[in-house]
Structure 1
Amino acid sequence: MRRLLPLLLLAPALTGCLTPEPAPKLYVLDPVVPTAASLTRVSLAVAPAQVPEYLDRPELIVRTGPNEVKAVDGERWAERLPLTLARGVADNLTRALGRPVPLTPADRPGAAPDYELFLTVTRLDIDPAGRNVSLEGTWSLFDTDARKELQAAVFSQRESFSGTGLTGAVTALNRAVAAVSQGTLSALQSLPPKR
């Protein structure tokens, strides 16, 4: 019996190690920009966004206080955040323009677009306590043939959310990305077709 007692005491701990973790929640952004008026036909692609290194990880990062963030276990992006943000803008522009706006270079190997949109995110804060999401950075529109920047702008979007969990925060980020996408449309309207 003495030999069995340590094994009986260890059994609950060992079964806890064997219990599988629940599958993580995976998040993507959905297009929300409405269809725009007819725009000049241009060939456009969106490059993966530049993001601070602390954000470039699978888990959602939330602000927990001044100068403090943490990764949330079980809450992940379905793909790398630079691609998620770029795809969100590309999907919004696809809906607004009524034609595909791919990511570069993976979505269009061998075919260079006339113009390329670059996003640099300097801040993406999900603040569960304050129930808001902040998205800040710049976008730049480049002429790929001339290799020069045609237009650039700073963006700063803040969206509030409600509810518990991070689903509301991702929905708020979706609205912020849609606002950034909408801001690029006026620049796109001024572009002449190249072909």
Structure 2
Amino acid sequence: MTLPSLRPIGRIFAILLLMAPSACGGLPGSAPTNFYILKTAVGLTADSGLSLAEGATVGIGPVQIPGYADRPQIVTFGSGAEINVSDFDHWAEPLSDAIKRVLTSNIATLIGAERVFAYPADFRPTKQSLQVAVNVIDITETGAGVARLTVRWHIKALYDNVVLARHAKTYESAATPGDYNSYANALSKLLGELSQDIAASLNGLNIS
């Protein structure tokens, strides 16, 4: 190809433009990003042993997560104080939203869909309205192949703004190190266990 008559700087720029497609064609392709979700628990059924106050409704949320986990990338623990942030393995939705979605669905299955909603919500609380606020202290997979969920939750009477109960627990399940699908499935299982404990902690609360 014959370049048109250009000043030196313009000619160099034109040569670079001609070379760009071939140069880019030689770059290796980047690795694809994998996305994972947390799933509602399988096998949960309504718990007939629970006794909630007549007309009680339950709002699930907000859910707070630690800052290190509040990002699209999946974070796991390394050795000592090290964490591993995976550039190519992401949560498909914000992690706090995913946890609230799963807890709301699981608890609705346990105590009745008509009683449970995600909080905050646009409604006027009544004397029978409860809120379950969840604070996740740790959520990770350890280098030893253990999915760990450490959580605190409290139950509040929304109308009177009074805390009725506080709870804390650590949940663990086996997960294959480096396998993010295994980790997501293990966390889903742990959230199922947490959902059952939250439902049980609502049992018999006096909100009159």
TM (norm. structure 2) is 0.77
Is the partner of 2:131 in helix, strand or coil? strand
Structure 2: how far apart are the matches of 1:73 and 1:18? 17
Q: 1:17 to 1:103 in 2, by over 3 A?
A: farther
- Give 1:10 shift: 7.2
Match of 1:54 among 68, 71, 89: 68
* Residues 134 and 153, structure 2, Cα contact 8 Å, conserved in 1: yes
- Give 1:83 shift: 1.4
Match of 1:36 among 43, 47, 51: 47
Match of 2:165 among 132, 147, 151: 151
Structure 1: how far apart are the matches of 2:175 and 2:45? 21
Q: Residue 80 of structure 2 aligns to which amino acid in structure 1?
A: P
Match of 1:25 in 2: 35
- Give 1:8 shift: 11
Identity within the alignment, %: 18
Is the partner of 1:79 in helix, strand or coil? coil
Is the partner of 2:113 in helix, strand or coil? coil
- Give 1:92 shift: 1.0
Q: Which moves more between the two structures, 30-39 or 113-122?
A: 30-39
Q: Residue 118 of structure 1 aligns to which amino acid in structure 2?
A: A
* Larger gyration radius, structure 1 or structure 2: 2
Counting matched residue pairs gives: 189
CA RMSD of aligned residues (A): 3.0
Structure 2: how far apart are the matches of 1:162 and 1:18? 30
* Residues 31 and 95, structure 1, Cα contact 8 Å, conserved in 2: no
Match of 1:109 in 2: 122
* Residues 141 and 177, structure 2, Cα contact 8 Å, conserved in 1: no
Q: Residue 103 of structure 1 aligns to which amino acid in structure 2?
A: A
Q: 1:70 to 1:96 in 2, by over 3 A?
A: same
- Give 1:145 shift: 0.8
* Residues 39 and 97, structure 1, Cα contact 8 Å, conserved in 2: no
Match of 1:119 in 2: 134
Structure 2 unaligned residues grouped into runs of 5+: 1-15
Structure 2: how far apart are the matches of 1:63 and 1:135? 13
User: Equivalent residues in 2 for 1:70-109 (5 A)?
Assistant: 70-100=84-114, 101-105=116-120, 108-109=121-122
- Give 1:30 shift: 1.7
Q: Residue 35 of structure 1 aligns to which amino acid in structure 2?
A: A
Structure 1: how far apart are the matches of 2:56 and 2:150? 27
Structure 1: how far apart are the matches of 2:134 and 2:23? 48
Is the partner of 1:28 in helix, strand or coil? coil
Q: Residue 25 of structure 1 aligns to which amino acid in structure 2?
A: F
Q: 1:147 to 1:17 in 2, by over 3 A?
A: farther
Structure 1: how far apart are the matches of 2:26 and 2:159? 59
Match of 1:3 in 2: none
* Residues 24 and 74, structure 1, Cα contact 8 Å, conserved in 2: yes
